[in-house]
Amino acid sequence: MTQLLEIKDLEVAIDNKTILKGVNLTIKEGEVHTLMGPNGSGKSTLSNVIMGHPKYQVTSGDILYKGKNILKMEPHERALIGIFLAFQYPKEITGVTLEEFLLAAYRAKQAHTDPDKPPILVFRFKKMLREVMAEFKMPEDFAERFLNHGFSGGEKKKAEALQMAVLQPTLAIMDETDSGLDVDALKTITANIDKVMRKREKTGVLLVTHYQRILKHLEPDYVHVMKNGRIIKSGGPELAHELEEKGYEHL
């Protein structure tokens, strides 16, 4: 399998405080990696740094995507080459519908990957979007609402799963996707994410979570435990069960 993401000895600071202290991680095509750890361990920092959040300072190390160093790339440039971040707390954007947002993002990615091809026509995009929404069992008017405005926590996560399906990233980073969801919403959203992954077999996934419960629906290939800015242990799915039984303190 082709290597998608390689993080080498990554150290990151914010406001002169070191958060990540030498992180190493490799994700190949089609692999699902879960990153677990207590609050404040650096999990969400790693997600944001991969995506290029400007408030974090990379003090040493490298992030390679398909063999190319992406540290100098802007967040939108990283998105255009196939990196997607599903936020723990998605932002609300009043005045822009979910459909309008997705159309603009789809056209931008299309222009980057195939600049000689004319942009997708609106009616063709709407047809494609409605087909995906029908598969996800979403009502049609969901796409006509302002992006995340007035959405429940579950609806925001559904909108991000829809974005994944439409934009078809090569690397999907899901930061606390299970945060604030009840059991039924979690089951629905993970089922939609699973559909995306089965259609895009080469998509690599980094799933950031506190809890083992989401792993009952999305079984990872690898589990990593982060503590105090370092990955201190890695293993298979059994490691998540160990954490559920014994917690993080025993590590």
Q: pLDDT tens across 206-251, in order?
A: 999 877 777 777 888 999 999 999 999 999 988 988 887 777 777 7
Lowest-confidence range among 111-115, 133-137, 141-145, 211-215?
A: 211-215
Lowest-confidence range among 82-96, 121-135, 167-181?
A: 167-181
In this prediction, residue 91 carries a pLDDT of 86
In this prediction, residue 167 carries a pLDDT of 93
Rounded CA gap, 68 and 160, in Å?
A: 26
Q: Is the dihedral of CA 223, 225, 229, 232 positive or negative?
A: negative
- At the fourth CATH level, the homologous superfamily of domain 3-90+151-246 is P-loop containing nucleotide triphosphate hydrolases (3.40.50.300)
- Strand intervals (E) in 29-129: 32-36, 57-65, 68-69, 83-86, 93-97
Residues above pLDDT 70, as percent of the chain = 96
Q: How are beta strands 57-65 and 230-235 bridged, if at all?
A: unpaired
Is residue 5 exposed (0-12), middle (13-18) or buried (19+ Cβ within 10 Å)? buried
Q: pLDDT tens across 52-108, in order?
A: 999 999 999 999 999 999 999 999 999 999 999 998 778 899 999 999 999 999 999
In this prediction, residue 180 carries a pLDDT of 65
Residue 28 reports pLDDT greater than 70 = yes
In this prediction, residue 214 carries a pLDDT of 77
- Which two tokens mark 235? 């293993």
